Structure 1
Amino acid sequence: MSDRLLIADGNSNLRENLSNYLQKEGFTVDGASNFHQALNTYASYLHDLAIIEIELPDGDGIELASKIKTLNPKVKIILTTSYPSISTALKAIKIKVEDYLIKPFVFDEIRVSLSKLSVLHEKEEKQEKVYSFKEKEEILSIIGESVEIKLLFEKIKKIANTPTNVLLLGETGTGKELFARAIHESSYRKKKPFVAINCASLPENLLESELFGFIKGAFTGATSDKKGLLEIADCGTVFLDEIGDIPLSLQAKLLRVLEDREIRPLGSVISKKVDLRFISATNKDLIEAVKEGKFREDLFFRLNVITLSIPPLRERGRDIEILAYHFMRKFAIKMGKTLKKIDPRALKLLYKHPWPGNIRELQNVIEQAVVFCESDTIMPEDLPEYIQSPEKFLDRAKEIPVLSIEEYTKEFILKYQSIYTEQELAEMLGITRKALWEKRKKWGIPRSS
């Protein structure tokens, strides 16, 4: 059973105290204060356990439990209530929740209930003689049945319980953080922190203090000590996303952490020992960056002990359909809609699209389709215009099959930059605004006024 659970309760003190208690018991806990926040949080992580208050401030906890059961039939749910009644108990039984507790309760009652659910889960596992590959992937939030994904998952299982550093290579939007989390969750470090750091999102001075922390008085504004992310992640996993964007000055300091397993907060003269596994990711050619002097060769070899290449969506065959249905169910639940299928004509359009933004772009496309869908089936007209009519989008349909992803992306920007905002363009391509700026700079495309 997953060690991640959701607590949905309007009482902030109870929610926080119960969360702290369960974290000490080894669980990773996500909290939500109301119906809609809980549904959005659950749809993001698909927890295997949920503790839900019936009297939520903005909705019925039993209805929330029912929606969650629809999204994941295997979820185990404990309902809590301050106003017990036969009516609510019968409703709870009808949707097959696993336990029903009356407030106020002591936290040990929750622990005993969760222990029972663990025993129940073990019995279910014994009845299922063989885990299908698909089920194993879903536990780790990796959705797919293509040969490429199965081979990659086999590699993850082999390397997970080693301390070896891993470098993930892949295009923007391929889900590199998901694979990093899969490695962490499959390892002996899974009950320790997983800390994700985007090296491209913070300026150099702020990135250094975020990584290493600082002591009081280290610089103007440092009014108290602050732990860095590397110290917070001690005994766990550090995921360095966009590692190719880390400044050279910080590369030297990071190399020392990898070699000495020590960190030194800004302003301090005392080093601290840390036990960390590093997983890095980039969509850049680091070998070329080394040649150009933009990335340290010694750091590259330290990080690049094992390399895993994440395949782009266009190379994952039928995973496009599997992922499309996954996102359809996710967004239908979040938007309170009942969607059953995707029309074959719409699926055909999805298969034809080259997906320069990969999984992130597909998720955006399906979210839009769910918004516009007025029946129980996603139709071609529910999809974005550039998916429906690629020939209108490029004005040269015959050339579409031979366009490279880079050419396609360039055409997309040139065609639509006068229509959409920077943020909208980036989201449609499934990339960040920074990545969009870099592509403009690379191709010499000025922003339209």
Structure 2
Amino acid sequence: MTNRPSVLLVDDDSDALVSLARALSVQSLNATIEASSSLSKAKELIRDNRPAVAVVDLSFDVAKGVEGGFELLAFIRGEVPECRAIVLTGHGSVEYGVRSLDMGASNFLEKPANIPHLSALIRDGLAQADLFRRYESLKTGQEEDDLESFLVGTSEYASRLREQIRYLAATGQSVLITGETGTGKGVCAAALHRLSSATGKFVRYQPGLGGADLIGSELFGHVKGAFTGAEADRTGIVESAVGGTLFLDEMDELPSSVQVALLGLLQDHAYRRLGDSVERKAHFRLIAATNADIEQALNEKKIRADFFHRIAHERIDLLPLREHSSDVKDLALHFVEQSSAKDGVNVYGIENGALSTLSRYSWPGNVRELQAVVEGACFRAQHRRAAEIGVQDLRIGMQTAPARNEELSFREQVEQFKSKLVQDALERNSGNQAQAAKELQLDRSSFRRILQR
């Protein structure tokens, strides 16, 4: 059995379950997809498999109606607190949405779900579950204390970044992390917490699509009756971060009024739950992150200037992977080792030709894209019983040519184009080399020669 994370789908409509599972199976989630159409079976799967993400139809239980969905949300929160629950429903009621969030759901979507949007939420949930597992393993001493095992690379940039993190971890100051999507903002935030003296939790929060009241409720909590749909008192995320670190991802998505409330909390270390007159104390470290252009966000008032200046005492600017491409090899080999340990694949290296292909690519999705490509390649290499990843195992830039072609000779560009033609043919023929060679009108020996370059 591997440690591959699982995504649980819960819906009483078996046809809808099959359709959703099929749609998600081609979204490169790198997770096992499980399904259940009954409350008892769903609870059994949750208890036994501890899914990282659960996608729940609120009305899946015919006998209990929406109450069955709320019962399952409560069960998830109690049994697997790190599991991110995404609620799907045909009832687009604000009351149901607020109650779902009160019961621990991270998102509330109307059916039918937009698959790309749902997939993005699932990926985010998988990433958050992975951060939770990392933190738990750090608490129990299961990971090395060596920062090099957490932030990989031998470039001058990687060395500087590690030194900056070591320094900032000891200060306890608020930190702003900027960088494109996939550059490792969450990893840096976790490293800052890990190396600090904080005794509390590392708590990650990413604003959803709700309004100021809903986001304020998620952060600060609320009391019963604070607004329509607030049927019970709710503890906020801020309270969970006391004594630890609050990682505020995509901070530019926070409504202005919530930024004001957070600013007051950072200055006075005090806050109130929505609808409550009782002042509560909260001491924690704030790490904020954004992939937005800071100057533009300030000009457009997406980020308040006073809030920005308060949180940006210290700043880490992460470079896109294309600007420290010398680290690609080390990162790729690290992800092979990680996949071997996490997923139980028997792949232990990368062939030189594949390393060259990885190094030439521009990586618009940055380190996260590289990790996904390498992990997928590990499974393909294992499927063909290879100990190393080859060019034929890579699925990168299918719509984007590798970068920096001007640095390649004519012959190298021709060979690169041949490799892409062969990769595309293999993809269309589900990895069957004989069929792919026939489609390209190549004999088997010529086909294999291109694969092995």
TM-score, normalised to structure 2's length? 0.56
Equivalent in the alignment of 1:45: 134
Tell me, in whole angstroms, the C-alpha distance in 2 between the residues paired with 1:349 and 1:369.
13
Q: Residue deviations 1:86-144, cap 9 Å, x none? A: xxxxxxxxxxxxxxxxxxxxxxxxxxxxxxxxxxx9xxxxxxxxx9xxx3322xx2222
CA 1:363–1:207 in 2, change beyond 3 Å: closer, same or farther? same
Aligned partner letter, 1:153: R
Q: Please tell me whether residue 188 in structure 1 is matched to residue 277 in structure 2.
A: no
Tell me, in whole angstroms, the C-alpha distance in 2 between the residues paired with 1:212 and 1:43.
21
Indicate the SS of the match to 1:220: coil
Tell me, in whole angstroms, the C-alpha distance in 2 between the residues paired with 1:168 and 1:49.
22
Equivalent in the alignment of 2:155: 146
Equivalent in the alignment of 1:379: 390
CA 1:278–1:335 in 2, change beyond 3 Å: closer, same or farther? closer
Q: Please tell me whether residue 175 in structure 1 is matched to residue 264 in structure 2.
A: no
**Contact 1:248–1:294, Cα closer than 8 Å, also in 2:** yes
Q: Which one of 165, 172, 177 corresponds to residue 163 of structure 1?
A: 172
Q: Please tell me whether residue 310 in structure 1 is matched to residue 313 in structure 2.
A: no
Tell me, in whole angstroms, the C-alpha distance in 2 between the residues paired with 1:239 and 1:379.
38
- CA shift, 1:196, in A, is 0.8
Q: Please tell me whether residue 136 in structure 1 is matched to residue 147 in structure 2.
A: yes
Q: Residue deviations 1:134-155, cap 9 Å, x none? A: x3322xx222222112111112
Tell me, in whole angstroms, the C-alpha distance in 1 between the residues paired with 2:220 and 2:187.
25
- CA shift, 1:300, in A, is 0.9
**Contact 1:211–1:230, Cα closer than 8 Å, also in 2:** yes
Indicate the SS of the match to 1:386: coil
Q: Please tell me whether residue 263 in structure 1 is matched to residue 352 in structure 2.
A: no
Tell me, in whole angstroms, the C-alpha distance in 1 between the residues paired with 2:173 and 2:310.
10
Aligned partner letter, 1:175: G
Q: RMSD of the TM alignment (CA)?
A: 3.9
Indicate the SS of the match to 1:300: helix
Tell me, in whole angstroms, the C-alpha distance in 2 between the residues paired with 1:205 and 1:172.
27
Tell me, in whole angstroms, the C-alpha distance in 2 between the residues paired with 1:151 and 1:214.
42
Tell me, in whole angstroms, the C-alpha distance in 2 between the residues paired with 1:366 and 1:176.
20
Equivalent in the alignment of 1:62: none
**Contact 1:184–1:237, Cα closer than 8 Å, also in 2:** yes
Tell me, in whole angstroms, the C-alpha distance in 1 between the residues paired with 2:283 and 2:135.
29
1:193-272, aligned counterparts within 5 Å?
193-200=201-208, 203-272=211-280
**Contact 1:200–1:242, Cα closer than 8 Å, also in 2:** no
1:289-438, aligned counterparts within 5 Å?
289-373=297-381, 374=384, 375-384=386-395, 386=397, 391=401
Indicate the SS of the match to 2:267: helix
Aligned partner letter, 2:161: L
1:14-163, aligned counterparts within 5 Å?
45=134, 135-138=146-149, 141-163=150-172
Q: After the TM superposition, which segments of 4 or more aligned residues of structure 1 sit over 4 Å from their partners?
A: 29-32, 40-44, 46-51, 200-203, 396-401
CA 1:180–1:202 in 2, change beyond 3 Å: closer, same or farther? farther
Indicate the SS of the match to 1:361: helix
**Contact 2:250–2:290, Cα closer than 8 Å, also in 1:** yes
Tell me, in whole angstroms, the C-alpha distance in 2 between the residues paired with 1:238 and 1:390.
37
Tell me, in whole angstroms, the C-alpha distance in 2 between the residues paired with 1:363 and 1:154.
23
Indicate the SS of the match to 1:224: coil
Equivalent in the alignment of 1:276: 284
- CA shift, 1:166, in A, is 0.8
CA 1:357–1:390 in 2, change beyond 3 Å: closer, same or farther? closer
Aligned partner letter, 2:395: P
Tell me, in whole angstroms, the C-alpha distance in 2 between the residues paired with 1:42 and 1:194.
9
CA 1:199–1:348 in 2, change beyond 3 Å: closer, same or farther? same
Tell me, in whole angstroms, the C-alpha distance in 1 between the residues paired with 2:200 and 2:173.
17
- CA shift, 1:340, in A, is 2.1
Tell me, in whole angstroms, the C-alpha distance in 1 between the residues paired with 2:137 and 2:272.
39
Aligned partner letter, 1:208: G
CA 1:193–1:326 in 2, change beyond 3 Å: closer, same or farther? same
Tell me, in whole angstroms, the C-alpha distance in 1 between the residues paired with 2:225 and 2:173.
36
Tell me, in whole angstroms, the C-alpha distance in 1 between the residues paired with 2:131 and 2:267.
39
Aligned partner letter, 1:156: I
How many residues of Structure 1 are paired with residues of Structure 2 in the alignment? 290
- CA shift, 1:167, in A, is 0.6
Identity score, percent: 36
Indicate the SS of the match to 2:277: coil
Tell me, in whole angstroms, the C-alpha distance in 2 between the residues paired with 1:269 and 1:43.
33
Q: Residue deviations 1:177-212, cap 9 Å, x none? A: 1111111111111x2111111125655432111101
Indicate the SS of the match to 2:204: strand
Indicate the SS of the match to 2:260: helix
Tell me, in whole angstroms, the C-alpha distance in 2 between the residues paired with 1:193 and 1:47.
9
